[in-house]
Structure 1
């Protein structure tokens, strides 16, 4: 099992965190285009996502097949349950493509953590969550400037209405940090830390199973427990992968909603 545990000369070697999250290069070693295992996982996730959508929607039918139905169900969930519900149909249509990209992109990057031979989420390193958070940061600022105008957007964000003028000395710096620093940072860290911790728990569970069952060749009580724990953590990781995609899309939509509001 890739990245779980290895043996050499009959000895057990615990998984190395550096090797898990900073694996050696597979292609273009030492260049700006270096591709390691995690970069490859991200590329595969994007390629599979594009392929599935292309196969499902290249020739849409009035009576959809199974794959088209599944994709339409996912799109409908994001459209009706998140975007239109929070932004309304008029504004929601403008930002629906981006929110769909966020939801499915995060989902497919996350789910690679339970795919055999890939075994790690593309979001288990801070780079990809940071890129997604910066994109959402740009999206909600753009939405505010486009929908209510730049002056009004920044006024609403930094100077809440109904507050005595002298309170702005305290509130404006707080609102600035909350809106323009905390939002993107919290988006990135929430996704990254969830995926990193889930991967570490899976690694520990499967490593312990390999030690008790694979190396000692004994189905001991501990081996059974660690294997059951690994299976349970796999199910949890699938659930968390979907939940984090939903949360990321929901928060991004929420930030856009706050940006386009006439007053806060």
Structure 2
């Protein structure tokens, strides 16, 4: 540990991860707005997603080819496994465009964290998870009000079967749980997972570079170990990228289902 600490104070051969990674310098400016490496990751993810979906759905065939089959498999996963299973066919079809957009957008932006040269997820700054959480929150309230204009907030804040005197305790808790904690947890769950994933990958590969090229010698086997951990954690990050997209989307569907249910 002393050797590593001394190297940090020397030529900078060891570069540990830092929270400053999420505040990169501007690549260029568009008026008063800065375009950073994270914005580039978001743009690349969006462009790749649009291109794949356009190519995959431009010439649909009754007997799909391999690429069309992959696109349809992804769409069917969201439509059937999330929208229909949770909301039912009728409500699921109403909200499947939103759920599908959320799932593939989050997945593609998460995966930019393992792309060499970018190495940071487009969802690792709070703006993207927060905007998606706000959309989920607004959709949940919209669905509830449309289903029951007069009873949505009453059912949410004053659940049936509770003795009236307990509403003094239950109602504030229901308000916090339903209207405050839900969007906050949606935002932080996605954000924190992407931040931690980036920091761990940077730590492993920076340590590998340091052990191989910074001090070398008998430290090279340790560098091989950190390299192996880095590759293993990269594969794990692919799984996390998918799971976070799935969890965010399925929670949005669950919240909508609670809003459109007869009693919630």
CA distance in 1, matches of 2:176, 2:143: 19
What pairs with 1:142-161 in structure 2 (closer than 5 Å)?
142-146=142-146, 148-161=147-160
Consecutive unaligned residues of structure 2, counting only runs of 5 or more, are 1-7
CA distance in 2, matches of 1:19, 1:34: 16
Distance apart, 1:37 and its partner CA = 0.5
Q: 1:104 deviation in Å?
A: 0.4
Change (3 A) 1:11 1:171: closer
Shift of 1:247: 0.3
What is the CA-CA distance between 1:251 and the residue it aligns to? 0.3
**Tell me, which stretches of 5 or more residues in structure 1 are unaligned?**
1-6
- Taking the aligned partners of 1:65 and 1:32, their CA distance within structure 2 comes to 46
Partner of 1:4: none
Q: Deviations over 1:187-236 (max 9, x none)?
A: 00000000000100000000000001133355722111100010011011
TM-score (norm 2): 0.92
Deviations 1:121-164 (A, max 9, x none): 01111111111111101111111112x22221111111101111
SS in 1 for 2:13: strand
- Per the alignment, residue 130 of structure 2 pairs with 130
User: Match for residue 3 of structure 1?
Assistant: none
Q: CA deviation at 1:59?
A: 1.1
Shift of 1:27: 1.4
Q: Residues 68-217 of structure 1: matches in 2 within 5 Å?
A: 68-146=68-146, 148-217=147-216
Deviation at 1:49, TM superposition (A): 0.7
Q: Residue 37 of structure 2 corresponds to which residue in structure 1?
A: 37
In structure 1, distance between residues paired with 2:79 and 2:17 = 42
Equivalenced residues, count: 256
User: Could you say which residue in structure 2 is the equivalent of 1:51?
Assistant: 51
Give the whole-Å Cα distance in 1 for the aligned partners of 2:247 and 2:12.
Answer: 42
- Using the size of structure 1 for normalisation, the TM-score is 0.92
Closer, same or farther: CA 141–11 of 1 in aligned 2, 3 Å: closer
Partner SS state of residue 263, structure 1: coil
Mapped to 2, the partners of 1:165 and 1:242 lie a distance apart of: 44
Structure 2 partner of 1:231: 231
CA distance in 2, matches of 1:48, 1:195: 20
User: What is the distance in 1 between the residues matched to 2:32 and 2:93?
Assistant: 38
Q: Which residue does the alignment assign to 1:25? A: 26
Structure 1 distance, partners of 2:57, 2:230, is: 36
CA offsets, 1:224-263, max 9 Å, x none? 1100010011011000000000000110000000001111
